[in-house]
Structure 1
């Protein structure tokens, strides 16, 4: 199968994980060059992975580049994505798809008008831990899904990120930063969301950076940093969610799914693998074997590889634009629900992505 040319725009903190997986795990991907407005950052990543740097215009003009992988900061996702589409390229971006639903829809509409594909992280739901959990749900081991909990709570990313200000700008905050992992995985497990209710607060208007090189600098907070709510899924399940940058620590597991016949503990959706546990009604929690692929490492760019195979085989890709736009609408709905004091009906439609039933390793096609 012919390789698919990849151009990467954005060489910040997350790019290293993408490049490591792209260059080691997915032979269908042909990286044609790296670009960043900060040329030094691009050159550093290019040197680390033995790749070449290009300008953004050069990548967009290269006829061998079929997919632009957009790893810029959230507020640039749609702008760069539209540039890629206008150049005739498919585009795959880091999460979220856009900083608000209107922006995300603009990108989706532009892709549809040009008959091009868009995709977006996260792709962790394709990892072996989450695919194993999905298989158990699909087999009916927990009975009818009735509820669940999704929990991410930490003190904030200014503890470790070298340039954390964008996490507290519009398009950031715990819901748009971490919510994509949890909500995307929940759609993978349970199907689309129908309604949302929620509350959101901003306990602090400033944060103090404690990481280097900006240790001690104060940054303003423009978004809610503690969001709690409820999602009613079209299939009937009701899931509670809390996303916070204001909690010192907690003992909740990241994801639990409850059914009429049992409970499932799902791995952290920020990772591809992890422990899956099942509690049969009247029994006790037991670890389940993880037999699906991509559970033993960080495979960021798995969604890009799946898109590349999908282009070559003319099938839908899994981390697709409809899914990303649906998740973006759900995340925005929590803030809207908090502001307006009512539940919000979700208007976008999406299907559960097809299970990743076969490995992509060594060029084998994922069905």
Structure 2
């Protein structure tokens, strides 16, 4: 197999999940990890038996073709631009950028250089979400009508050791959790055409209750409770609610409605979960899945798909056009709230191709 060299920049919490999952994909050749905190890079390298290097070393290494960018959101575009300047393809954690303007500049830079960009989430590759996609594509829902997308919690300061960035520009529930929900909805229904919404910040500061900073207060600079509506190009209209201000709720993460049935889609922050389908006049019934990647955390499958796509010269699924479209949609909720108008979405993207065969054996996924 002609493996693809990978360099990882950013060794925070999410890097462990990536490094564990990357072991499932033989096409990925991890050439090193780097972080501005070199001690953290050495710690992560020792944990996974790889090399800790500097950012400059990774960017200079001719064997590295993809830089996986796991830095904090406000650094995503700057690091990705560095990778492009070094002639590397780049794949970022979500979101693609903290605003649509800078992410658009990244997209244009990649196209000008003939390089690929990609971004999380890749959870829509998961077996449960691919099962839901197959049901939608089969036509059992009838004409798409709408749906709901709901993520609500009391806030991440309960568990994250350094939650500040969740409440800074580029944070908030929409940019943090919205990518999972909106990307999965684009996977199921196609691109969004219009957005309406409201956005509030009920509290100006948050009390950290996690360790080691228990009792410290941090300021809030972004809306933390956002609700709105997305109109899709196929005619469906979906309600969405994203919040760090709700003590508890009973909504399921995703529901998709059609004239002939209703689909329950599990948490799009995970690869598995129970899909249910109700045929008009019947009851909800669990749907089995034979699709792969429903039994664990395969975060980095989007990188593996990009690697296979490079080798076979085909589009990769978690691509820059998709990530930029989702970012424009997310940013539109605040714009709609501020202007009191409906916002038209101008970016274009295709539904990602279904994952029709496994990547477990390192073979090409069509």
TM-score clears 0.5: yes
The SS at the match of 1:196 is strand
TM-score (norm 1): 0.99
Within 5 A, what are the aligned runs for 1:1-367? Answer: 1-23=1-23, 25-367=24-366
The SS at the match of 2:177 is helix
User: Cα deviations across residues 31-78 of structure 1 (Å, max 9, x unaligned)?
Assistant: 000000011111111111011100000000000000000000000000
The SS at the match of 1:96 is coil
Shift of 1:5: 0.2
Rounded Cα–Cα distance in structure 2 between residues aligned with 1:26 and 1:100: 32
Shift of 1:148: 0.1
Shift of 1:328: 0.2
Count of aligned pairs:
366
Rounded Cα–Cα distance in structure 2 between residues aligned with 1:82 and 1:252: 39
The SS at the match of 1:161 is coil
The structure 1 segments of at least 4 consecutive aligned residues displaced by more than 2 Å after TM superposition are none
Rounded Cα–Cα distance in structure 1 between residues aligned with 2:49 and 2:204: 43
The SS at the match of 2:30 is strand
Unaligned runs of 5+ in 2: none
Unaligned runs of 5+ in 1: none
Rounded Cα–Cα distance in structure 1 between residues aligned with 2:46 and 2:216: 31
Rounded Cα–Cα distance in structure 2 between residues aligned with 1:143 and 1:299: 32
User: Cα deviations across residues 256-300 of structure 1 (Å, max 9, x unaligned)?
Assistant: 000000000001000001100000000000000111110000000
Rounded Cα–Cα distance in structure 2 between residues aligned with 1:116 and 1:146: 38
Indicate the RMSD between aligned Cα atoms, in angstroms: 0.4
TM-score (norm 2): 1.00
Shift of 1:364: 1.6
